[in-house]
Structure 1
Amino acid sequence: MLLSYLINLTYIVLRKCSGEKIDSDPSIDRLVEIRTVLEKIRPIDSKLKYQIDKLVKTAVVGTAEDDPQSYHANPGNLVSKTQNSDDDSSTESESTDKKDKSGKSNIYIPPKLAAVHFDDSISRSESEKKNKERAKKQYLNSSVMRELREEYSEAPMEMSTGNHVKHSISKYEQEKTEYE
């Protein structure tokens, strides 16, 4: 592509140097087309530049055994080579599955998104109570309950933009006055 662009460009320069007219020359149309294609390819080329350079370097120089770029994960190494360890691990996983299903195990399983400290002092019933209280609080602060309170309260109706920022500010002020 680049070679044909250079050939057409050289041809146009030759015609100009010779004093010939290049107004309706088909090589100009080819130049425009090739240049457009080359400009469209440029972002792709820049994205692949590292990989292309790496492959060219490997082809020219060859690979060395101590090359850090040649190190990669080998999934075959993760599989155990002995059958005994497979049997032991399968029985262990079955026993942990039984404990998890029964719910009697007090084993801490960390969350996958963010690490959280496991508190041993809180029992299961206490944590369930906390969860119920939290759900009740969320329900009471929901938009449905807010609308019902506004409808049946005798306080004058306030106009809001719908983002309830004023509600959270007034709640903060109320907590502040209660604390004082």
Structure 2
Amino acid sequence: MSGSLAAARTALQTIKNSPQALDAADGISLLSLKHSLLLSYLQSLVLVAARRVLGDSLTERTPPAQPFGARDRGPRGACPGDLVDAMIEDRIVLEKVDVLESKMRYQIEKLVRIADGPASAPAAADDPLAFKPNPMALMGDEDAHDAPAKSRTTFRNDGHALKDDDAIYRPPRLAPVPYVEKSKNKSRATRAPIPSALATLAADPAQPFLESTSGLGGAPALASGRAQYLKRLQDFEEDNFTRIIQKKSDARRRQRDEEDLALGGDLGGAGARGGRRRAGGLEDEFGEVLRSVGRVTARDGQGQGDGYEELRQRGKKRDVLERSRASGGRRHRDASDDEPIDAPRMKKRSRFEQETKVAKKRLSKR
């Protein structure tokens, strides 16, 4: 303790004897600011603790009129509230200084190493690792022997230097490069998706085959969250003998998803409402049949039904009247096909033309 006090008195005496060390016309350094703020913070903390022991209130304060960033801002008062405000300001400035110090850490460490090094170390005249051109390296061998080189340097095949005087390897001085760690989300996004076969195999290793002889899924298709949700919903309804009330849209979606699961789909690509569905569901299995339900035929202009309705009609034996109508229609089409393309066709008369013809006949009879 006595040694620390003696060292502090010696440092204070040195500062008093050299006033130029306290010249802060251009500002103070970052490290000096950090130490001054830390000392001020500790002093304010001790004074606040003493005021609290005496029972003083911490709400009394006399803040200065100028803002914190003003150069001509006066000092704070001596009230306990002023000490608390000073501690808050010191803490904020310390946090800002910590950020600046982390950005200038490399420069600070470099200056500290230079200051801690031997003061009498001569600077190399032809140091190839210095960041500046060396004109002496352009001279010939004869001039190189005459040049005042205090320390000669040899090079290896990889370009690194090895001094002959002490035989100590010194790597080249390179600028610091920050290490940027790769994001985990980016690696997950670029990762290939797991095949559905492997996902189903992990869910049920006892059944490695996905399809049976019928062509449908043999293993339970519970690889997606939607399929698991439907399974839990079905188990709950069967255990409690009740039906869960849902909206019409949710009920239709549930029915569609259950049909897809029954046909071997895994609902892996069925996202939100209106999203694109993955192949393997009801619509993909019977898409052609379902799309042909509402199609219209050119013969009668009515809906044909499903895709097998035409085959059913052809398989039935029709009566004589329907066969005669069909044969008459074919003969009419064949006769129209035999006519030349450029043959003139009779234009159908309008109602006005017909009435005009009837009127002319009546007048001719009179």
More helix by share: 1
* TM-score, reference length from structure 2: 0.19
* TM-score, reference length from structure 1: 0.36
Structure with larger RCO (C-alpha < 8 A, sep 6+): 1
